[in-house]
Amino acid sequence: MTETHPDPVLSPRRGLWRRVVGWAVAGVVGLLLALAGAGGAFLETQAGRDWLKATVEAALADPQGVRLTVGSVEGSVFSSLTVHDLRLADPQGVWLAAEQVRLSWSPSALGRGLLRVEALTARDLTFERLPILPPDPTPSDDEGFFKLRWLTRVRVGALDVRDLTLGEALVGQRTQLRITGDSRPGPDERLHVRLDLARTDAIPGSLSLEAALGPSPAPLRLHLAAAEPAGGVVARLLNLPGLPPLDLRVDGEGPLTGWEGFIKADAGALVQASGRMTAAVDSEGTGRLSLGLGVLPGPAAPALWQAAVGERLEVVLGAERDSQGRVTLTPSAVTGAGWQAHLEGWLEDDRFAAKLGLEATSPPLVAALLPGASLAALHLRAEAEGRLSQPKGEVTLSTGAIRVTEGVGAEAWALRVTATPADAHRLVLALEATPTGLVLPGQGRMLGAAPVLQARGLWDPQTHVLTLTQAVLTGDATTLEANLTVFPQTGRLAEGRLVLDLPDLARLDGGLTGQARLTVEPRDLSGRAGTVEVRLEGYHLGGGAGAGAGSGPDGTSAP
């Protein structure tokens, strides 16, 4: 088989959002490093500001192709600094641009490990899309040079982002926003934080956040409200059927050692949800979180949703974090119509373990998917563990009686799938499936009541290529072998080979005798185009002399 190569795939790197935030904060870090390495008087001159601009651009140059350019820098680097014409680009072009960014800050808190920003304003900020970068050649086992927890050392007094434009490639429709916010100490010794986001284009939409937090045991007060009309950004991002209007409310108050809040979400006639959240966190960051949520499908919910949820979907999730940083799922479950899923697991640094159990008894979803079908019972177990970059796992599935249509079904099914790391990026997949009491019409009877399917392949999640190195389906009177390279994202089937052995043609309807082998070799089937080579050997026609080694169509083209 000729070696095939996948189509070039440009995908966002793992941890991309962390990198985007990192680039933003690293600009400030680069500024402070530059201040530490240069004379203050020199930096107050135009030559000093030009040197600072070039130093920060060079410091933030990324070997994967992300680059920062700055038009000019004005003002005092020790109090109020203005940056003009800021651009972030990847090999495909500019993806983030700002005409003006102004930073007013005070170095007085640096000795306490804090970066105190008095005011941050931006004008004509455009975020077109996420950067497009080649896959990261090394596993992302940590946060790199930028740690998200550093953000807790930043204090921003006032925020004003005017004329923020989000590109269609980012949020599904071109959107214009204004973001304002502030944080200030109140008379109650609590820190009060406010953030408001409002659309400034033709479509209304808003989000407001208010929070107040004081020293222990002062309570945390939280209020979040978000709303958008039908056809809004969030509905598009979530791909909600009908793009309904959305309304979200979260309110809570209490000490961090025993905080309680309530959530309510309304998507019009599509779905509604409400529930309760609790938190208990100590000064060391250890503690627990929990969420209980009830989801009610509305009259506009798709039939499959209604069949899966029933009258109400119940969600119970919980997590704990210990002093060593390990996060553990507490008993968590999701319950729908005729089924329940249980979750458990833990995460610590780059290692994890997770288990999923699913039990179903005559779930209505089966009949909704396949009218007339039924499933007596289903038991699924999925386990995964290892490093986040190189997981290994196993899935086992067993069922009771299955009826697909009249005359098609099985008394039971058993399925087992395993995944183990092949190298830094690829996984070795293995599958075995065995039905019991299989009933098929027509020529399907050649498989018998208990055929066995065994398959082994290689999956590359970065290039989205599945290489089926070996697959064998063995039945009573037939064997099918296959090896193929598949590109699931594009539907492309590369060169491969399928061989069907029929050792006893008498088992077929039509009066044939003898034996036959059918070989099919597809070549680069992309969409509806490509070439298929078919060979039929060793067939005999009933009642005739037959041919010892006849051949069928050779080199025919598929439409």
Q: How far is CA 454 from CA 169, 295, 365, 489, in A?
A: 41, 40, 28, 24
Res 164 pLDDT > 70? yes
Q: Check if the beta carbon of residue 339 is closer than 8 Å to that of residue 333.
A: no
How many CB atoms sit inside 10 A of residue 115's CB?
19
Res 302 pLDDT > 50? yes
Q: Check if the beta carbon of residue 500 is closer than 8 Å to that of residue 477.
A: no
Query: Rounded mean pLDDT of the chain?
Result: 80
Q: Which of 342, 345, 383, 382 is nearest to 359 (CA)?
A: 342
Cα-based torsion angle of the residue sequence 41, 47, 50, 52 in order, rounded to the nearest 10 degrees: -30
What's the mean pLDDT in 25-51?
Answer: 58
Q: Check if the beta carbon of residue 387 is closer than 8 Å to that of residue 407.
A: no
DSSP run (H or E) holding 492 = strand 492-493
Q: Check if the beta carbon of residue 89 is closer than 8 Å to that of residue 127.
A: no
Residue with tokens 């007060």: 221
How long a stretch of residues is the chain? 559
Supply the pLDDT for residue 429: 93
Res 550 pLDDT > 50? no
Res 313 pLDDT > 60? yes
Q: Check if the beta carbon of residue 501 is closer than 8 Å to that of residue 479.
A: yes
- Whole-prediction pTM value? 0.73
Return the CA Rg of the chain: 31
Secondary structure of 391-412 in the HEC alphabet? EEEEEEEEECCEEEECCEEECE
Least confident of 129-143, 182-196, 212-226, 359-373: 129-143
Res 6 pLDDT > 80? no
Q: Check if the beta carbon of residue 316 is closer than 8 Å to that of residue 341.
A: no
What's the mean pLDDT in 311-322?
Answer: 95
Supply the pLDDT for residue 110: 65
Q: Tell which wins on pLDDT, 341 or 90.
A: 341
Supply the pLDDT for residue 274: 97
What's the mean pLDDT in 378-398?
Answer: 93
Least confident of 36-45, 47-56, 143-152, 214-223: 143-152
d(CA 104, CA 118): 5
pLDDT tens across 256-297, in order? 888 999 999 999 999 999 999 999 988 777 899 999 999 999
Q: Check if the beta carbon of residue 191 is closer than 8 Å to that of residue 221.
A: no
Q: Tell which wins on pLDDT, 534 or 314.
A: 314
d(CA 115, CA 523): 60
